[in-house]
Structure 1
């Protein structure tokens, strides 16, 4: 049995089910309402879990012939990761690659097949995948020790290194034989660490390393009275959402492992004390699920109809929140003094979007791709806020605006002018990939704001914005409803693990072409918004990965 309840007072399930739907499709105010959603012909269709499983199986059975059609080496194999079908019959199949049975990191690609037989491909790398030998000169044990040193340099504690696995590293130039080692531990602020370290199998030198636990900040108890979907458990009720893939919300009781205790209530009237954080986390997960389902046709984070789960009251004085692929879960700390749970709506949507990115483009969390990864979470957090229509937390282009982490009332980040936070970049530059990914996200956030709302001074939902452009030229927006469709299409169909800013420009222009037509007003707006943040044709720090080509 599944019930929908309010936080403070019990209401009939039918009434609140209608209210829950209204949270998702509620009318937005301000210029963000301008424009309709993307063209029905090019948007993805919703596949039932059984249909998606059948599509994956069919694509895998055809992977051998697809590899030949792409002209891959006989030693290369394609492994299907995702299949997206558009209403117009176009199919986007995302593959990982192997070489002589070894995973190829940075070798992912997406094949686009139109109904009329036209065929194109988007690749993470254009390099030919080959290595002279798959025999490592450096043993796995040495790679493991090297990975532990890399982790120690980041001041990670309680480290444990898994056995290294042999891979082909193709993400940063000429493919080389390498070892990949996952080192787990605890970061300085108490966040779990899952660092991936890639070392050269011939020399032992570090080739690349990046953190896979993505963090953010927020404060709970901001959502007011909200609809919840719960499940009867005998004469009591659990925070388990049977309408959204079985999402569950747990109380960790200040622990840092496991799931803790599933929230339970005697009368289905939730709120007060430790329940507040659970209510806000449960609501945030529902809003995020509904946003992706109703706006983009995505059936859960993995698009398989299965929900992640949420954990609140993590650790002691933990001032953060994080998404982890390994547990497929969202976790919230209680903040300073264990008095401010980090469960704001935009934080929930931001962190869960890291899961969506991981299961689509897989943008590597370092350099320009890492900045785009962070920006994607900020973009869809803003979009989810607008679509929720919650008067206690209306939609805006501010990130973490309710947490007051600095004690000044200022948000963490600003999408209209990112540099207002004192760290983020407004525009692309060749040095962008060398700064923290939370700050290199600035130009993409700025692009999305400009694409949605345009440049200059304006007020939306009571918030004042004044967005500049790199060259001083005015930019007109197309509305957030169209802008979010462009970014989602680009993320799921055209971006890859190595996409940089130039690649993001190419991907969004391809998405705009699919949705609205080549040369359309929307296509021109995408082009103008990128130019306004200094990303133009041929501008790239890494050669414009993620480009689309015929095959």
Structure 2
């Protein structure tokens, strides 16, 4: 994304009981390993021990996914899925108390089911529940398309033209899918059209076309925009690698993250930054220092605070590209390249490489790897808000002297040309376009502005309503109903949002379902009678989500 503009079950298949027991045993080994290490982290009092996710090594995660996939047919039967449906495991999360959350995609007659994702939650004693993106039964009369692929391609190119996409071309032939994200499942074509958006951002537009009627059902833009001395972060420590007699921006301690110079180009990876003496900064290196540092701080935040080992939780890094395009006033995440890209701003004078922007873009990758919130409507607003929420959390976690934590987004990059931030979390409407509260038309506006209520929720849950000053910044957060909200602290609010995203949200989660997901997360972490659980409910009510 760009930076700007459950049903309870009691039946438990025998194989799953064995698998849960095995996962609990491996979880115990993880805990022992962490406790016995020489640099073991001290317990965090903001984290409830039972329902927090355990950090798995890449090998343990692979084993957990393989084990779950081996049981997928049995699980499909237990869920009552049809004979033509199959489950494909995307992720497995294990809580400290032994509860296992397995995230699945679905296929029907071998075709991907878009909007058919679900999460199965299973406790060690066998209690089970499931969170589904759709409750509709997946079935279509035939998998033979009445509309030929060529017609779907032509329709998709017209949709891209309507979005003012330049140099539009279908990336590959349309693929046949089941579209289940919007009411009754139908056979459809998915066409991916690549090109360039009006502001210079690359475009990867996914167009869903009804395979019987030719009606355009949905469009989704997949490009999610959004020691050295940097422009914003000052003098910082960088992870670099020596190669021969020179150093390069490869962070071997964080999955091998690399930072490249696109040199105003718009494709490829560009040139890996190198330096003779490992003292970075000045000229073109300044933007690279900020981007590289931002990636490192974001990696450390997810690992040290949330127990997540990289964007996909597999220990593998993405990469960064700086100096994209000419006068490009944006930054974006692309899942297809698994990378962050930063423009240099108006006049190529203000690179969009501040710490919160870097964290925002990397967090889009985390969302894509977990709930995969569809980048449209209310789920798109929640997707954008998720990146803002983690960007704020990273900024406070980093505690960088030149960029202390605040509830302002993009305050360093001067994107408006007048020194004002891009977005405000305490009162989102201060940017002139974002919404403070939920309303029935929220899903029809740009996702960067429909993110406002979720950003507002996070601020209220963290800090509460009313006037206050934090790190020298003054805030005054209102509520929809005039109520007074007492915050529970940013650390707990972050834990709740992360657990909701990774465990209870699906691709189609809207604001009402986000309320349910965060209440489920707060209940699991702190108990359903806790002050934290009650505060979550109060904060949602304060933004008109009841």
TM-score normalised by length of structure 2: 0.91
Q: CA RMSD in A?
A: 1.1
Aligned length: 501
Distance in 1 (CA, whole Å) between partners of 2:353 and 2:249 is 15
Aligned to 2:60: 51
Show the 5 A alignment for 1:27-38. Answer: 36-38=45-47
Matches within 5 A, 1:501-516: 501-516=511-526
Query: Residue 71 in 1 paired to residue 71 in 2?
Result: no
1:94-140 CA-to-partner distances (Å, cap 9, x unmatched) read 00000000000000000000111110000000011111111100001
Post-superposition shift, 1:36? 3.7
- In the TM superposition, residue 335 of structure 1 has moved relative to its aligned partner by 1.2
Question: Which residue number corresponds to residue 147 of structure 2?
Answer: 138
| Aligned twin of 1:105 | 114
Matches within 5 A, 1:77-476: 77-161=86-170, 162-216=172-226, 221-476=231-486
1:225 match: secondary structure: strand
Per-residue CA distance 1:23-79 (angstroms, 9 max, x = gap): xx99xxxxxxxx942202111111100000000000000000000000000110000
Q: Aligned runs of 1:494-505 on 2, under 5 Å?
A: 494-505=504-515
Shift of 1:215: 1.3
1:186 is displaced (CA, Å) by 0.4
Q: What SS class does the counterpart of residue 499 from structure 1 fall into? A: coil
Aligned to 2:91, the other structure's residue is in SS state strand
| Shift of residue 253, structure 1, vs aligned partner | 1.0
3-state secondary structure, aligned to 2:384: helix
- Length-normalised TM-score, structure 1: 0.90
Contact 2:247 2:276 in 1 (8 A): yes
Aligned mates of 1:273, 1:473 — CA distance in 2: 50
Task: Give, in angstroms, the shift of residue 248 of structure 1.
Answer: 0.4
Q: Which runs of 4+ in 1 moved over 3 A?
A: none
Q: Which residue of 2 aligns with 1:484?
A: 494
Residue-by-residue CA offset, 1:340-382 (whole Å, 9 max, x unaligned): 2110000000011000000000000000000000000000000
How far, CA to CA, are the matches of 1:408 and 1:507 in structure 2? Answer: 38
Say if 1:36 and 1:482, in contact at 8 Å, map to a contact too.
no
SS at match of 1:194: strand
How big is the shift at 1:391?
1.3
Map Cα deviations across residues 169-210 of structure 1 (whole Å, 9 max, x no partner): 000110000000000000011110000000000011100001
Q: Secondary structure at the match of 1:229?
A: coil
User: What runs of 5+ residues in structure 1 fail to find an aligned partner?
Assistant: 1-24, 27-34, 537-551
* Alpha-carbon distance between aligned partners in 1 of 2:508 and 2:499, rounded to the nearest angstrom: 17
Kept in 1, the 8 Å contact 2:351–2:413? The answer is: no
CA distance in 1, matches of 2:231, 2:189: 45
Shift of the alpha carbon at 1:221? Answer: 1.3
Gaps of 5+ in 2: 1-40
Higher relative contact order (CA 8 A, sep 6+): 1
Partner of 2:33: none
Give the Cα separation in 2 of the matches to 1:450 and 1:319. Answer: 30
**Shift of residue 518, structure 1, vs aligned partner:** 1.0
Supply the distance in 2 between the matched residues of 1:370 and 1:344 (Cα, whole angstroms).
23
Structure 2: distance between partners of 1:334 and 1:413:
19
Alpha-carbon contact 1:36-1:481 (below 8 Å) kept: no
The question of whether the paired residues in 2 share the 8 Å contact of 1:364 and 1:497 is answered with yes
Q: Is the 8 A contact 2:153 2:191 kept in 1?
A: yes
Q: How much does 1:213 deviate?
A: 0.4
